[in-house]
Amino acid sequence: MPNDVFISINASALHAKSKVYIGRALVRKAADDLDEYQLWASLALELLGKAALASTHPSLVVDPTHWQSLFVAAGINATTDVKTITAKTLFERLAHLVPRFDKTIQKFCQEIAERRNAELHSADLPFKAMRLEAWEARYWHACDTVLHHMDSSLESWLGAVDAEAPRQLLEEAEKAMKAAVELRVGAAKERFGELKKAERDRAAEEAEQRLLQHQSELFVGRYDEIWSTACPACGCRAFMTGQLTGEDFSEEQDEHAIWEVVDREYSGEEFHCPSCDLSLLGSGEIIASGLNCIHEEQHSREMEYEPDYGND
């Protein structure tokens, strides 16, 4: 990875600027200017996300259709007018790079970016219509998720004193979510328990016979993989789906085989149990229910090219 790239796509520079902008955001919040608080906060989030991508490689931040920018990302000074990706592309890429940056967080980040654009480029006043409690906790959750991936924290990003309020807000939101999920699981368990034993047995048997490839209609979004897991409410076979977050060649590889084995890791983003109708959305809710949102599988696939055996 190039160590010296143009400042606009330099990971350290992007991270430093995000710290300046979130500092401005907190100053505006202290002055009770909540519109400008959300404006600076949205800008800080986008810069933080770009810093996360650039820390993996600067090419992830530039517009792939602008070849001069790609050259700069490779460390070649082809232009000073570097074109970077849109907020929509940024959050889509973060969803593939950061395991806990699920579709729920991605959707929230896209929405705050769209409000920011409307605030700056139209006569609309979208920030004024947003109550603080409708976005602030989710905002800090998104930032915390990105920072965790960067081996950082809110405390480091904001400074220990400034981070106290967001951290407390996050803890309160996490407690509220966990309590809500526990109540939802308990209600599903109670509903299932009220069924007659024959009905419970039939539901469990039907769940065992369901084919994974036919369960996509259970879920709201489209994902890379579906797998089965035990329901935390009724104990029946249930289903989870999520995005591919990593792939590596298996150690069980046969050097003479024409098939290769890869270990794949997925991060769960939706859960549904057809037996008791329990649904969980986002990795936060899945973890709060006691389920593991990380799933690992081995896949076999034919090699693109057969081994070169020589001509002797």
Give the tens place of pLDDT for each residue, 164-209: 778 777 787 788 788 888 888 998 999 899 999 999 999 999 999 9
Number of Cβ within a 10 Å radius of residue 144? 19
| Percent of the chain surpassing pLDDT 70 | 90
pLDDT for 107 equals 92
The β-bridge partners of 259 are 302
In the structure encoding, which two tokens stand for residue 177, read together? 């979510």
Q: What is the pLDDT of residue 54?
A: 93
Query: How far apart, in whole angstroms, are the C-alpha atoms of residue 227 and residue 177?
Result: 24
Contacts of 6 (CB under 8 A, 6+ apart): 72, 77, 80, 82
Segment 230-247, tens digit of pLDDT: 999 999 999 999 888 888
User: Partners of 76 in the beta sheet?
Assistant: none
Beta-bridge mates of residue 265: 246, 296
Q: Is the pLDDT of residue 300 over 80?
A: no
How many other C-beta atoms can be found within 10 angstroms of the C-beta atom of residue 187?
14
Amino acid, single-letter form, for residue 28: R
pTM to 2 decimal places: 0.67
Residue 8 has a pLDDT of 80
